[in-house]
Amino acid sequence: MSTAESVGARFEELYGSAPDGVWAAPGRVNLIGEYTDFNEGFVMPLALPHTAVAAVSRRSDGVLRVHSADARGGVVRLAPDELVPLSDTGWAAYPAGVVWALREAGHTVPGADIHLTSTVPTGAGLSSSAALEVVTALALNDLYELGLSAPELAVLGQRAENAFVGVPCGIMDQMASACCTDGHALYLDTRDLSQRQVPFDLAAVGLQLLVVDTRVKHALGDGAYAERRAGCESGARALGARTLREVEYAHLPEALDRLAGEAPSVRRYVRHVVSDNHRVEQVIALLDAGDVRAVGPILIEGHASLRDDLRVSCDELDLVVTSAVAAGALGARMTGGGFGGSAIVLVETADADTVTKAVEEAFATAGHTAPRVFPAVPSRGAHRVA
């Protein structure tokens, strides 16, 4: 049985009739451009083959029922009319938040039955939350013929996460899940959501991008995102810029001089964001020129910046990078929010096994939980499957 069929069958068991349709939306890894999306900067994610799959039916009676095969607690029953932001509905806040955001934006969504399951590892920095939001938004867009574009659905998903769930994330994850295409990375300008699909066929040039899920999440991460965000905002203010996007890399030294009176952390955050925006542009230029191997050292620089300037890495992520590079990887860096989660490793296909073993051995020697390693095959964004 296909995933769509089994998800549909489970839907029917739960709700008593077949779903109106089945949709899928992927998780993502980000190649380069980290903590830049809330500074109106550049990012470059690619969608993973791992997806959230949702079977959904319309309801006209003001009832919203949501169920996840992966969460405890059975069917959650809510009323679209009575959805209240930040009301701690657990995991159900993600799909319910999308219903809320659609209705807030003036769309008619009287109710729905939703059953979902996901192969995106949760809390691994691979955007299982965005996959949930985007799959819900796309399903409701199709079923209620709302006519929204993929970027509009992404923005609504972000609004659900920011305002309803209460997580102050940027727009990258939802845009990746909604807009990525097979075999491409998504070069996204988060200022105006303009985008370019960049061919990213690593297999054709004998390379692989590995994802290393460290399977740890350090509690420190919870407040750190908001603190970095606030630091970037005060840096921009002190420079008279609307956001750090406006600070050009060529003028970074002067900008840092002008921030001499600010907290050292603010200067570090500014240096990270401005230099990571520049790294995205460097990577794009290299990919356009077909020089994929030269991306490796830029990933390593990006990791150093996240570790030393933004300070969002951790021992496990640093160990992925050092052990992979020592074993011959072309480059590696943490990806996503940090403090655990996942790293990416660019390797020659011929070296992938050696590098994987080296990372696993380094983790065993350090006494860390065994990491989960898999190739990041650039996959398609959200779509209807049945």
CB atoms within 10 A of CB 374: 15
Residue 70 touches which of Mg ion, ligand ADP, none (Cβ within 5-8 Å per kind): ligand ADP
Q: Is 379 annotated as a binding residue?
A: no
Q: Which residue has the tokens 């997806």?
A: 51
Q: Which is nearer to ligand ADP, 33 or 183 (CB)?
A: 33
* Interacting residue with ligand ADP among 118, 174, 177, 214 (CB under 6 A): 118
Active site residue 192: no
Dihedral angle over CA of 93, 98, 104, 110, nearest 10: -100
Q: Does 342 sit near Mg ion (CB under 5 A)?
A: no
88-117: which residues touch ligand ADP (CB under 6 A)?
91, 94, 117
Residue 335 touches which of Mg ion, ligand ADP, none (Cβ within 5-8 Å per kind): none
According to DSSP, the residues that pair with 346 across neighbouring strands are 209, 331
Binding mask 99-138 for Mg ion (x = CB under 5 A): ------------------------------x---------
Please identify, among the stretches 67-75, 249-257, 312-320, 324-332, the one whose residues bind ligand ADP according to the rule CB under 6 A: 67-75
Q: Which is nearer to Mg ion, 146 or 312 (CB)?
A: 312
Q: Which is nearer to Mg ion, 129 or 190 (CB)?
A: 129
User: CA 49: distance to chain centroid?
Assistant: 13
Q: Which is nearer to ligand ADP, 176 or 345 (CB)?
A: 176
Q: Is 129 annotated as a binding residue?
A: yes
* Interacting residue with ligand ADP among 122, 162, 197, 322 (CB under 6 A): 122
- The answer to whether the CB of 382 falls within 8 A of the CB of 23 is yes
Among the listed residues 46, 52, 48, 45, the one whose alpha carbon sits nearest the alpha carbon of residue 66: 52
CB of 336 to Mg ion, least distance (A): 8
Among the listed residues 213, 224, 386, the one whose alpha carbon sits nearest the alpha carbon of residue 312: 224
Question: Distance between CA atoms of 13 and 165, rounded to whole angstroms?
Answer: 29
Query: Tokens standing for 59?
Result: 């309801």
Question: Distance between CA atoms of 160 and 323, rounded to whole angstroms?
Answer: 38
Helices (H), the chain: 3-15, 93-104, 128-143, 150-159, 172-179, 221-238, 252-258, 264-288, 295-305, 315-326, 352-366
Eight-class DSSP state of 220: T
Q: Is 124 annotated as a binding residue?
A: yes
Residues in the chain: 386
According to DSSP, the residues that pair with 51 across neighbouring strands are 26
Q: Is 36 annotated as a binding residue?
A: yes
Please identify, among the stretches 32-40, 122-130, 233-241, 372-380, the one whose residues bind ligand ADP according to the rule CB under 6 A: 122-130
User: CA 286: distance to chain centroid?
Assistant: 23
According to DSSP, the residues that pair with 368 across neighbouring strands are none
* Interacting residue with ligand ADP among 89, 129, 141, 356 (CB under 6 A): 129
* Interacting residue with ligand ADP among 68, 158, 177, 208 (CB under 6 A): 68
User: CA 226: distance to chain centroid?
Assistant: 17
From the candidates 113, 173, 213, 309, which is the catalytic residue? Answer: 173
* Interacting residue with ligand ADP among 5, 70, 315, 353 (CB under 6 A): 70
According to DSSP, the residues that pair with 56 across neighbouring strands are 21, 114
Q: Which residue is nearest to Mg ion (CB)?
A: 129
Angle (nearest 5°) at CA 49 between 117 and 32:
120
* Interacting residue with ligand ADP among 36, 39, 127, 243 (CB under 6 A): 127
How many binding residues for ligand ADP (CB under 6 A)? 16
Binding mask 138-177 for ligand ADP (x = CB under 6 A): ----------------------------------------
Query: Tokens standing for 101?
Result: 């955001």
Residues that bind Mg ion (CB under 5 A): 129
Residues that bind ligand ADP (CB under 6 A): 68, 70-71, 91, 94, 117-118, 122-129, 132
Task: List the binding residues for Mg(2+).
Answer: 129, 161
**Residues designated as active site:** 173
Task: List the binding residues for ATP.
Answer: 68, 123-129
